[in-house]
Amino acid sequence: MSELVPVPAPLDQNQHLGPLAQLLANPMVTEIMVMGAHDIYIEVNGKILLTPVTFESDDALLNVIRTIVESVGRRVDEANPLCDARLADGSRVHVAIPPVAVDGPLLNIRKFVRGPLDMADLVRLGSCSPSAFGFLKACVEARANILVSGGTSSGKTTLLNVLSGYIPSDERIVTIEDAAELQLRQRHVARLETRTAASNGNEITLRDLVITSLRMRPDRLIVGEVRGPEALDMLQAMNTGHDGSMSTLHANKPRDALARIETLVLMAGYDLPVRAIRAQIASALNVIVHLERLRDGTRKVVQISEIVGMDEDVITMQDVFRFTRSGFAPDGHVIGSFIPSGIRPRVLDRLQELGLEMPSEIRPLFPGSGAA
């Protein structure tokens, strides 16, 4: 992790970001991690490397941090030392400064891919198989409610962008995010973003935005990440006519994702029986897509599961696809394959009900589904 890497000469663009401009201009860099003025790490091909790039001082770094957060109407200071923001190109920014950052200002920039990726891009990168993506395409077209789960930096937002590309252009989409970074191709998209109390006004939370979005006549809701009591409002929206909605969630496994949703609903403050919450989850969510960042740094869809109902007090699921590891290549890359379970997913019945054709990628796996 201490290896130094060469960087290109600085470009004129993003010069207000000082020495970080050259790292942002490098297409190989996917994340920048600044730990004080003199230790700047980057992620390249899933590996973390130390760069020779430095700031003159912590004050110089703080000036860049303030420039970034003020450009999106936010503020960071000793009274408000934590902040989420974004760059003009959509890259996600997280800031922590003293007193919460003990050894100096901390800055993370998750670079966003220029131009939305599509299914072919992720298949080429080995993130998933054509048949698994074909199933996910069918889920979006069939208006299934989809939850994308995974750990930090596992590719959840990237996959959400790809899946959103299958939403028909004649539908009204409302997106809700902490820091707007989704890149939807459709024109009819209403984008909402939270606001902290430190942004010269009242705090506007994800829950506030989920509630207000329902008054905007959405055909579909896309919540960038659910992580609080807004989970309850999102489930209620999915259960009251807003099918075809999507969100992401931090979790280690699909089953853990269900448990976390349950916990987040309880944070809403209502005294709801656990079984009632689980029944809401089972009724609202149709498919969970789970991603992992593997040992070799690659990001893959490792499991696609369908929620099929309740068995007494337990939400029941069935696997549709799973990534099975078989070993390691000489260069350290994980070897494996995407295996269908052989079970016909219930969500495909919706294709026939809506008069839609089965995507060609999965037609051999599930014959007889979709419109004739």
Name the pairing type of β-strands 189-193 and 314-328: unpaired
- Give the global pTM: 0.83
Alpha-carbon span 10 to 27, nearest angstrom: 13
What's the angle, vertex CA 321, arms to CA 318 and CA 326, rounded to 5? Answer: 125
Element (H, E) at 139: helix 130-141
SS (H, E, C) 92-115: EEEEECCCCCCCCCEEEEECCCCC
- Decide if pLDDT at 247 tops 90: yes
Exposure b/e, 30-67, CB count within 10 A at least 16 = b = bbbbbbbbeebbbbeeeeeebbebebeebeebbebbbe
**Which residues, in sequence order, are CB contacts of 200 under 8 Å at separation 6+?**
73, 75
pLDDT tens, 9-31?
Answer: 334 446 678 899 999 889 889 89
Let me know: does 315 contact 281? Beta carbons within 8 Å: yes
Structural domain boundaries in the chain? 15-110, 119-353
Q: At the topology level of CATH, where does 119-353 sit? A: Rossmann fold (3.40.50)
Question: What tokens does 302 get?
Answer: 């490792």
Q: How confident is the model at residue 58 (pLDDT cuts 50, 70, 90)?
A: very high
DSSP state of 292: E
Q: Which of 155, 75, 164 is nearest to 122 (CA)?
A: 155
CATH number of the domain at 15-110, please? 3.30.450.370
pLDDT tens, 282-319?
Answer: 999 999 999 999 988 889 999 999 999 999 999 999 99
